[in-house]
Amino acid sequence: MKALELIDIVYTYSKNTPFEKTALDKVSVSFEAGRINGLIGHTGSGKSTLVQMMNGLLRPDSGEVLLFGKSIWEEPKKIRDVRFKVGLVFQYPEYQLFEETCEKDIAFGPKNMGLDAQEIDRRVKSAAQFVGLDESLLVKSPFELSGGQKRRVALAGIMAMEPEVLILDEPAAGLDPIGREEIFGGIRSYQRSRNNTVIIVSHSMEDVAAYCDNITVLSEGKLFMSGSCAEVFEHESELTEMGLGVPQITRFIRMLRDAGVELRRDIYTVEDAVSAIKEYAGRR
Amino acid sequence: MSEKTPFIKLENVFYSYESDDETVPLPPVLKNINLEIEKGTFVALLGHNGSGKSTLAKLINLILLPTEGRITIDGKDITASEALTEDEVYDVRRKIGMVFQNPDNQLVATVVEEDVAFGPENLGIEPSEIRKRVDDALETVGMSAYKKHSPHQLSGGQKQRIAIAGIIAMMPECIVFDESTAMLDPGGRKEVMNTIEKLNREMGITIILITHNMDEAIKADRVVVINDGVIYMDGTPKEVFSDVQRLRTVGLDVPQVTEVMYELHGMGMPVDYTELDEKKCADALAELLRKKPG
């Protein structure tokens, strides 16, 4: 089943002015339910514009946005409901924290949804658990926490709304390797337990390869392709040309292949690379 | 007297952020740092979030003053007990430029060339000299063709190059890059890294690059790893990255290719995991795999 379907989306910024710029040019793309989908593209490729179409922050000039088969603009007055179903976490969401305590901040979304106190409490605790936030931190002010912890509070705030589709724009930007792993691990365990749909926008080919089931590539406002990691990273030269590339390890395996070592192409992690090379050496 | 005075010298430097509650001081984020950086070197500064590396960068640029210890820039003690005059502070900041993470927060003007001129204008430089510096700076970062453009129409990598041009136009001796590639796509990262290497190799500008990206750090002459407020490792990229275990202990990565070579080495394959060049690693490994007796 498709969670989100965008059909023939056209969007132009500053229409009818000298600054007119077509951000999305007839983009049609869909995102399968129950998966972690990656969305990649160079700066200015239209990723952020596309993401804002998905929960109705922007309305396309033409084209349709379907959420579980239903147009989100069918009843424009109900667009608020769409935003509860499609949760969007912007870049550097920690700058948006504002409450006195972490608990209150995470509870803000669920409260606005009109949930009762008990349910809010359950959701806050469960979201905090997914992002690996210790319960002792919940009573603290978010401004006393480190950058990585703040990021988790902000993420938990959206998770607590339990959206059917969770969209994250560069969730690990600026974090160190351990922080990245923790954030992505949290997103994955959240997705696995609820079996909902996740869309991750990222500039890191390594992260996309390691955590996403499917990848969509945008380039200059158009859809380049959509497919599995194997299908997408097959196109190393085109991806490099559009300013993206493939994971470092995938490139390394390609170099080995070029030098006559017959290895599988679809290798995206260090562990896979090591075991494939070991197996190759054993075969000889 | 030593024959070479380092351009930047930190002696027994401590730094603690101010606490809201004066009776409970915050623990220091930098503890007894001793560091010397020679003119013209390219230093990568690594460490995880909260390790103190950004604080260190801010001390070098006089945005912060150390709680204890001495910092000397180009022979001048910037932490001397008598307060520096405003001119002296500006002089240090002119000598040491800084490029931050988010390009959108650093551009101030509506036209590229005006943005690049902003720094030198504030230094009170002659208009004809400003013109020359702006043109030269844009040339250096490869953005001359965009001088009449509006910065908001540029890509992330291009915006960062404009921010860099704005710094170069002030003719600094050193530039600190605080995770300046973190928000860019892979193409933008490459553009900025190439520019940084050019500034160092061709113009002799001292570079301090703060990054989480190990592939960028291997381009440096020297890698300094900060952990928990102290200098944890200091050496050439080859020296630092070949100590995989020591880096992993503090949760830092090595480049993916180094990791593969290190694992293979651990399994008894005779590979050199201290080689940092991707292509050389691939060639050596391919040769070894092909000739292995069957």
**pLDDT tens profile B135-178:** 999 999 999 999 999 998 888 888 999 999 999 999 999 999 99
Helix (H, G, I), strand (E, B) or coil at B172: coil
The pLDDT value recorded for residue B292 is 59
For the purposes of burial, counting CB atoms within 10 Å of the CB of A218, is it exposed (0-12), middle (13-18) or buried (19 or more)? buried
A197 and A166 Cβ atoms separated by less than 8 Å: yes
Question: Does an H or E element contain B288, and which?
Answer: helix B278-291
Cα–Cα distance, B206 to A257 (Å, whole number): 39
Range of the domain at A269: 247-284
Note whether A42 contacts B256, CB cutoff 8 Å: no
- Position A126: which residue type? S
Residue in chain B closest to A182 (alpha carbons) equals B251
The total number of structural domains in chain A stands at 1
Cα–Cα distance, A212 to A37 (Å, whole number): 5
The pLDDT value recorded for residue B168 is 92
The pLDDT value recorded for residue B23 is 79
Name the phi and psi angles at A93, rounded to 5: -65, -15
Q: Provide the number of CB pairs (under 8 Å) joining chain A to chain B.
A: 125
Paired tokens of A264: 């599988």
* Distance (Å) from the alpha carbon of B92 to chain A's nearest alpha carbon: 28
The region of weakest confidence among A121-130, A187-196, B183-192, B236-245 is B183-192
Using an 8 Å CB-CB cutoff, list chain A residues near B183. 91, 170, 173-174, 203
Q: Residue ranges of the domains in chain B? A: 39-63+82-239, 255-294
Name the residue among A19, A174, A248 with its Cβ closest to that of B179: A174
Note whether A43 contacts B155, CB cutoff 8 Å: yes
Cα–Cα distance, A207 to A49 (Å, whole number): 22
Cα–Cα distance, B113 to B132 (Å, whole number): 11
What is the DSSP secondary structure assignment for residue A142, as one 8-state letter? G
Residue located via tokens 């990656």: A38
Cα–Cα distance, B228 to A49 (Å, whole number): 40
Band of the pLDDT at B93, cuts 50, 70, 90?
confident
Q: What is the ipTM of this complex?
A: 0.82
Strands (E), B228-277: 230-235
Paired tokens of B36: 């010397």
The set of residues, in sequence order, having a beta carbon less than 8 Å from that of B213 and lying 6+ positions away, is: B181, B189
Paired tokens of A76: 């424009």
- List the one residue out of B232, B169, B175 whose CA is nearest residue B199: B175
A21 beta partners: A13
pLDDT at residue A85 tops 70? yes
pLDDT at residue B57 tops 50? yes
pLDDT, tens digit, 9 for 90 and up, residues A143-183: 888 778 889 999 999 999 999 999 999 999 888 888 888 89
Helix (H, G, I), strand (E, B) or coil at A209: helix
* Distance (Å) from the alpha carbon of B280 to chain A's nearest alpha carbon: 10
CA Rg value for chain A: 20
For range A237-258, the mean pLDDT: 94
pLDDT, tens digit, 9 for 90 and up, residues A135-144: 899 999 988 8
Band of the pLDDT at B81, cuts 50, 70, 90?
low
Band of the pLDDT at B293, cuts 50, 70, 90?
low
Note whether B285 contacts A174, CB cutoff 8 Å: no
Name the residue among A203, A206, A259 with its Cβ closest to that of B286: A259
Tell which CATH architecture fits domain B39-63+82-239. 3-Layer(aba) Sandwich (3.40)
* Distance (Å) from the alpha carbon of B1 to chain A's nearest alpha carbon: 40
pLDDT at residue B3 tops 60? no
Q: How far is CA A221 from the centre of its chain?
A: 18
Q: Give the dihedral sign, CA B168/B172/B173/B175.
A: negative
Strands (E), chain A: 2-13, 21-32, 36-41, 62-67, 70-71, 86-89, 165-169, 197-201, 214-219, 222-227
Name the residue among A44, A273, A284 with its Cβ closest to that of B292: A284
Residue located via tokens 């658990």: A129
The set of residues, in sequence order, having a beta carbon less than 8 Å from that of A234 and lying 6+ positions away, is: A265
Helix (H, G, I), strand (E, B) or coil at B11: strand
Name the residue among B251, B264, B278 with its Cβ closest to that of A178: B251
- Position B116: which residue type? V
A210 and A184 Cβ atoms separated by less than 8 Å: yes
B208 beta partners: B43, B176
The pLDDT value recorded for residue B155 is 82
- List the one residue out of B144, B165, B283 whose CA is nearest residue A256: B283
Name the residue among B183, B186, B294 with its Cβ closest to that of A284: B294
Using an 8 Å CB-CB cutoff, list chain B residues near A177. 48, 212, 251-253
pLDDT at residue B119 tops 80? yes
- Position B183: which residue type? M
For the purposes of burial, counting CB atoms within 10 Å of the CB of A10, is it exposed (0-12), middle (13-18) or buried (19 or more)? middle
pLDDT, tens digit, 9 for 90 and up, residues B250-272: 888 889 999 999 999 999 999 99
Name the phi and psi angles at B30, rounded to 5: -125, 130
For range B192-204, the mean pLDDT: 94
A187 and A154 Cβ atoms separated by less than 8 Å: no
Note whether B251 contacts A176, CB cutoff 8 Å: yes
